[in-house]
Structures are given as C-alpha cells and as structure tokens.
Amino acid sequence: MTRIAFTKDHEWISVEGDVGTIGITDYAQSQLGDIVFVDLPETGKTVAAGDEAAVVESVKAASEIYAPVSGEIVAVNDAVSANPVLVNEQPEGDGWFVRIKLSNPAELDGLMDAAAYKAFVEGLS
C-alpha cells in the first residue's frame, strides 16, 4: 500500500514499503516559476528529517528541498537534472527528486495527509 504525506515546506513523500519517493507539490512549483536547474545529492548520503535533500533553481530564486523523513538516499532522478522543466510539468509524478530508505517510519506520522495539506495551502492565500 502506498502512503502519501506532505510537509509545510511543500514537499511530498510517497512511501511503498520502507522506501519513499520525494518531490515538491504542484503548489510549490507554481510559486517557484520555471525551474532551470536541479542539484541532487549522491546516492548513499544519509539525511535527517529537515535536512537539505536537493536544491532547485528557478527564474525567481534558489530553494532547498528538505527531507521529510530520515534515511539513506538510495536513488536520484537524473531525468530532472537533465530536464529541470519536468519539475514544473509533473511535480507530483516524473518530476520527483530522490528516493530514500526510511530509517524511522514513525516520522511519517508528523506529516500531513492530502486533505490536511489542501486545507493548509488554502489557508495561505
């Protein structure tokens, strides 16, 4: 079963088993504007929840992408490095950044589900 959760920093994580795929939400990419560069970490890097997991640069600004959970980076999406516009076109699909092997799945309990995230974003405007 896939579990999807969201952070207040507009990252999403889709978890199957003990591996989560991390990206930014459609709201985040719309706020950033056109993504022109993506900097991904090396596989094997260990991150703690809240640590920088990637960096995106848009025509407006550079922004850190934070790890929603702790674990080891087990895959990076080279497609977004080669074609950063994927983040704008499919932020919650093919525009993902990294896959992480969760070291503490209980951290997911501190994140929002889709309904809570939707309410959070609506409260921003």
pLDDT digits (tens, 9 = 90+) for 25-52: 999 999 999 999 999 999 999 999 999 9
Length of the chain (residues): 125
The yes-or-no verdict on residue 10 having pLDDT over 80 is yes
Residue closest to 67 by CA, chosen among 17, 102, 28, 106:
102
CA atoms within 13 A of residue 96's CA, in its CB half-sphere:
18
What six digits make up the tokens of 108?
Answer: 């997911």
Amino acid at 34: D
Mean of the pLDDT values across residues 19-27? 97
What six digits make up the tokens of 104?
Answer: 């503490």
Phi, psi (deg, nearest 5) at residue 51: -75, 155
What pTM does this model have?
Answer: 0.95
pLDDT digits (tens, 9 = 90+) for 73-102: 999 999 999 999 999 999 999 999 999 999
Predicted confidence band of residue 1 (pLDDT cuts 50, 70, 90)? confident
Average pLDDT, the chain: 96
Alpha helices in 1-125 (DSSP H): 26-32, 78-82, 85-89, 114-122
> Which CATH number among 3.40.309.10, 2.30.40.10, 2.40.50.100, 2.40.50.140 corresponds to the domain 2-105?
2.40.50.100
Helix, strand, or coil here: 107?
helix
Neighbours of 69 (CB within 10 A): 27
CA distances to 28, 69, 98 from 46, in Å = 24, 11, 12
